[in-house]
């Protein structure tokens, strides 16, 4: 039996984000009674998160689905689940606490938008990439080159569109506490964009939620720790 598992990427990320993770999942899912079909979703080009969610609702099947999102995609997957709980079987959120962005990240995004609109865009800097990675991975060229290439292929217009449409976010914690689908949240212990305190009230109010913290890992969880992440996802699929 085959069952789809949909993947929503993060800002300036495409299906290359998933390559290491999918390789590990394909090896491990032999243990499962269900054969999962991994399907990459492109984030719709819209002006607001509400509009993005509504477009996804038109694109995705009406029956209950398995939906995984990373970073920006994690927020969007959570927002979709809160808007359409009747259409969710499982939610997997990677490297994202579904709430307002930290003030520092909002300020950084505002600076990037102003700079690109004034001076153009020559690509993500290595310094910016390193803020997303654990210290042990900052010299890993397989990861940094992948991030650079995805960013280059999207370009300035995509960067501006994605930043402007997804920076304003609502806190989804209350909506998540009432969901009945199985939910898994994963994040790195060195992720500067995820506040681990967000998950404590979820764990105490909703038994359908589980959280996995990955040691020595930053924001780019699918690239930094694909094997351990794949094992966590397989465990979740087996038990949920």
Q: What is the pLDDT of residues 52-95, one digit of tens each?
A: 999 999 999 999 999 999 999 999 999 999 999 999 999 999 99
Helix (H, G, I), strand (E, B) or coil at 130: helix
Helix (H, G, I), strand (E, B) or coil at 36: strand
pTM of the entire predicted model: 0.95
Count of CB atoms within 10 A of residue 221's CB? 28
Estimate the crossing angle of helix 72-83 against helix 49-59, to 10 degrees: 70
**C-alpha to C-alpha distance for 236 and 36, rounded to whole angstroms:** 13
* Residue 31: pLDDT over 80: no
Cα-based distances in Å from 35 to 5, 6, 211:
10, 13, 24
**C-alpha to C-alpha distance for 115 and 127, rounded to whole angstroms:** 16
Q: What is the pLDDT of residues 94-115, one digit of tens each?
A: 999 999 988 888 999 999 999 9
pLDDT > 70 fraction of the chain, expressed in percent and rounded: 100
Q: Which of 228, 173, 169 is nearest to 200 (CA)?
A: 173
């Amino acid at each position: 039996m085959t069952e789809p598992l949909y993947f929503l990427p993060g800002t300036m990320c495409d299906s290359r984000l998933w390559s290491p993770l999918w390789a590990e999942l394909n090896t491990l899912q032999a243990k499962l009674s269900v054969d999962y079909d991994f399907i990459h979703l492109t984030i719709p080009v819209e002006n607001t998160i509400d509009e993005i969610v509504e477009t996804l609702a038109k694109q995705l099947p009406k029956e209950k689905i398995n939906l995984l999102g990373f970073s920006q995609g994690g927020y969007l997957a959570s927002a979709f689940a809160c808007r359409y709980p009747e259409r969710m079987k499982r939610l997997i959120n990677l490297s994202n606490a579904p709430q307002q962005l930290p003030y520092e990240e909002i300020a950084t995004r505002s600076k990037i938008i102003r700079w690109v609109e004034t001076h153009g865009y020559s690509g993500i800097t290595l310094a910016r990439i390193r803020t997303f990675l654990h210290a042990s991975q900052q010299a890993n060229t397989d990861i940094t080159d992948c991030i650079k290439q995805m960013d280059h292929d999207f370009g300035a217009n995509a960067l501006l569109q994605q930043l402007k449409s997804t920076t304003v976010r609502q806190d989804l914690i209350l909506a998540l506490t009432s969901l009945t689908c199985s939910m898994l949240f994963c994040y790195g212990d060195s992720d500067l964009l995820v506040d681990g305190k967000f998950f404590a009230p979820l764990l105490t109010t909703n038994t359908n939620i589980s959280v996995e913290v990955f040691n020595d890992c930053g924001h780019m969880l699918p690239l930094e720790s694909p094997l351990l992440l794949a094992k966590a996802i397989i465990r979740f699929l087996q038990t949920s």
